[in-house]
């Protein structure tokens, strides 16, 4: 006869592998994540991992807590929760992450797309659509610099089918392989062209809407990062050169040769980099209009730079 070990907070792993119902598994996993990983998203993480293991939706898990869970599934679940307790991000454990309502493959080849970066895509869509109103027969060219999983470029192409071409660059061949897989899954591989190289240099022509979420963390701030990020996500996706702003400085140095007159440049940056980015933008494009946007948590997050209609003159 199968006997369930007595409940003990000291041995949640052993208990979880023997959970009999969905509700019991969720409760044990949430408690373990909360106590041993100090996770403030313990309940959500527990649900996402159980949904992954069982193939059920989160809504079903919550609606039917009395449903039985197979022993083999409970064991696989316990193994995943143990990895999460060791700070491995949920996006790497499940291999998926939702971004702009779309499902992206995620693994250690690239940064997991962040919810705050959706603001960059929403802003880019406004820029693209205002240009489509002005010149419907000549869609703007867009480029996503440091594309990682491809999330920004692919979401833009999916959400605005009138865009004929979005370029997406990255220095990492591994990230580009993952991004190509994501583009194929979303059926936009014909309209998103991936290019390997440094920042803007691989672009074959000037673009009208330039987007970038580049690495911007100062290497000296490494210890301030959460273990989830520091231990698992690629360093090349996290750390900006020098004080963290090195990539953005080089992007501004390259930009005049790669953006069209009247281009919009939309950049994500770190919470304390607003002044530096504003200065860089004005030093590069003297007559540009620079607008800073805050994210939903209230942090300065984006710079939207409208270059003048004739800055090349
Ligand atoms: C912060 S991640 C952003 C990934 C993705 N755009 C997103 O928002 O989820 C930065 C990306 O820039 C890439 N990168 C780093 N240095 C680069 C360079 N010199 N040129 C182009 N891409 C670079 C990294 O490989 C990484 O994929």
Token duo for residue 155:
């979401």
Residues 120 and 269 in one domain: yes
Residue 13 is predicted with a pLDDT of 57
Quick: pLDDT tens for 120-179.
Answer: 999 999 999 999 999 999 999 999 999 999 999 999 999 999 999 999 999 999 999 999
Our answer on whether the CB atom of 202 is closer than 6 Å to any ligand 1 atom is: no
Residues 290 and 171 in one domain: yes
- pLDDT averaged over every residue in the chain: 93
Specify the CATH number for the domain of residue 38: 1.10.8.10
Residues 52 and 194 in one domain: no
Q: Please give the distance, rounded to the nearest whole angstrom, from the Cα atom of residue 57 to the centre of ligand 1.
A: 32
Specify the CATH number for the domain of residue 203: 3.40.50.150
Pairing of strands 259-268, 300-306: antiparallel
Token duo for residue 95:
């291999």
Task: With beta carbons less than 8 A apart as the criterion, state whether 148 and 170 touch.
Answer: yes
- For residue 82, give its domain range: 12-86
Residues 82 and 191 in one domain: no
Our answer on whether the CB atom of 214 is closer than 6 Å to any ligand 1 atom is: yes
Residues 26 and 175 in one domain: no
Quick: pLDDT tens for 86-127.
Answer: 999 999 999 999 999 999 999 999 999 999 999 999 999 999
Residues 175 and 122 in one domain: yes
Specify if 4 maps to a domain. Answer: no
Q: Please give the distance, rounded to the nearest whole angstrom, from the Cα atom of residue 158 to the centre of ligand 1.
A: 20
Q: Please give the distance, rounded to the nearest whole angstrom, from the Cα atom of residue 176 to the centre of ligand 1.
A: 10
Residues 22 and 144 in one domain: no
- Residue 2 pLDDT greater than 80, yes or no: no
- Residue 207 pLDDT greater than 60, yes or no: yes
């Amino acid at each position: 006869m199968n006997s369930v070990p007595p409940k003990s907070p000291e041995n949640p792993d052993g208990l979880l592998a023997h959970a009999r119902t969905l509700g019991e598994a969720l409760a044990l996993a949430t408690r373990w994540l909360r106590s041993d990983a100090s996770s403030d998203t313990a309940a959500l993480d527990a649900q996402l991992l159980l949904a992954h293991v069982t193939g059920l939706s989160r809504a079903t898990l919550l609606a039917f807590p009395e449903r039985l869970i197979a022993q083999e599934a409970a064991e696989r679940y316990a193994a995943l929760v143990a990895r999460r307790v060791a700070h491995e991000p949920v996006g790497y454990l499940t291999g998926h992450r939702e971004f702009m309502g779309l499902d992206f493959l995620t693994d250690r080849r690239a940064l997991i797309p962040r919810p705050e970066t959706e603001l960059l895509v929403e802003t880019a869509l406004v820029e693209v659509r205002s240009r489509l109103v002005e010149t419907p027969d000549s869609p703007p060219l867009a480029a996503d610099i440091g594309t990682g999983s491809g999330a920004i470029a692919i979401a833009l192409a999916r959400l605005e089918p009138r865009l004929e071409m979005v370029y997406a660059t990255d220095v990492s061949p591994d990230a580009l392989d993952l991004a190509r897989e994501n583009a194929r899954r979303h059926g936009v591989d014909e309209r998103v062209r991936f290019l390997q190289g440094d920042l803007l240099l691989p672009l074959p022509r000037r673009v009208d809407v330039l987007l970038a979420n580049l690495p911007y963390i100062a290497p000296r701030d490494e210890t301030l990062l959460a273990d989830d990020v520091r231990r698992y996500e690629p360093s090349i996706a996290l750390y900006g050169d020098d004080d963290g702003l090195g990539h953005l400085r080089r992007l501004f140095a390259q930009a005049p040769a790669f953006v069209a007159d009247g281009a919009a440049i939309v950049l994500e940056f770190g919470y304390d980099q607003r002044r530096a980015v504003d200065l860089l933008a004005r030093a590069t494009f003297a007559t540009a209009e620079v607008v800073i946007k805050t994210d939903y948590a209230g942090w300065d997050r984006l710079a939207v730079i409208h270059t003048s209609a004739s800055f090349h003159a």
